Amino acid sequence: MEFRAILLRPKGPLTEIPKADTLFGAIASAVAVLYDNKAVEKLVDAFKGGARISSAFPYFNDTFYLPKPLSVELVDFGKEYGEAKRIRRAKYLDVRNFERALRLEPFEAPEMNVYEKVSIPRVVLDRVTNDSALYFWDEVRFREGAGLYFLYSGPDDVFRDYIEPAVRLLGDTGIGGKSTWGFGLFEPEFSKLKIDAPDSEYEVTLSNALPTKKPVLWRIFRKGGWSFERRKPKMTFIEEGSVVKNDPGRFEELDLGLSFRVHIYGLTFPVPTLLPDMEGLK
């Protein structure tokens, strides 16, 4: 399988690693700025018709990382204790090991040190007395040569007409919070990524998703946020790496009292994966 890979070479820190729903929200906002709300509706329709984006994952030079499929957590590869622990704890695998994991073959977990989460002090100064008030802000910083990328799968014209212009604008606007401090700015680069996946009816999702039926293997998290000064209700997503069977996921349309409806992206980004032969699993 070949996908378009959109590299975001960071020019500064990010508040967090954006997931697919954040990326889609940022892309839709950029499309609204460059064109209009009708273009956003067309974009949403294109995604309802089959286009997909993944969450953002790290890369370092030529190594691209993907989320570890949950299916491998059920397999005993018989490693030494330390190694087994590292594999169990790994969040990301490089593409080659990700492909092995899809086939339930023994794989290695990389020793990753491509980004670091740090807490940075900030100061507010009283304009008259210069009295200072200290507070802290968490940020994700990447090492040199490292950054983020996400995948796109779908029609070329949707990519050319919406994704590419939106990503160009977002590079100079920022993704995520505190963009006016330079957070989330990046230099975009458009490339491709091949993933060699087995034939299977089960699929691992590379995006956080809102499933339409019970997933096969899943890990959940709750996520809310803000949209145009309105708080979005917290929703339950399945994490990247979860396994589904024939589930496209769904958009959630919210009426937040704005002049338009807010679309929460919850589509799956499916890549076929094998499942261990265990009773009750299939």
Cβ of residue 149: shortest distance to other proteins, in angstroms?
18
Residue whose CB is less far from other proteins, 199 or 229 = 229
142 part of the interface to other proteins, by CB under 8 A? yes
169, 195, 254, 256: which one binds other proteins (CB under 8 A): 169
Cβ of residue 210: shortest distance to other proteins, in angstroms?
28
Residue whose CB is less far from other proteins, 56 or 185 = 185
1, 34, 74, 220: which one binds other proteins (CB under 8 A): 34
Residue whose CB is less far from other proteins, 29 or 97 = 29
127 part of the interface to other proteins, by CB under 8 A? yes
Site for other proteins in 192-231 (CB under 8 A): 229
62, 89, 136, 279: which one binds other proteins (CB under 8 A): 136
Cβ of residue 173: shortest distance to other proteins, in angstroms?
7
* Three-state secondary structure of the chain: CEEEEEEEEECCCECCCCCHHHHHHHHHHHHHHHCCHHHHHHHHHHHHCCCEECCCEEEECCEEEEECCHHHHHCCCCCCHHHHHHHHHCCEEEHHHHHHHHCCCCCCCCCCCCEEEEEEEEEEECCCCCCEEEEEEEEEEECCCEEEEEEEECCHHHHHHHHHHHHHHHHCCCCCCCHHHCCCCEEEEEEEEECCCCCCCEEEECCCECCCCCCCECCEEEEEEEECCEEEEEEEEECCCCEEECCCECCEEECCCCCCCEEECCECCEEECCCCCCCCCC
List contacts with other proteins (CB under 8 A): 11-13, 33-35, 116, 118-129, 131-133, 135-137, 141-144, 164-165, 168-169, 172-174, 178-183, 185, 229
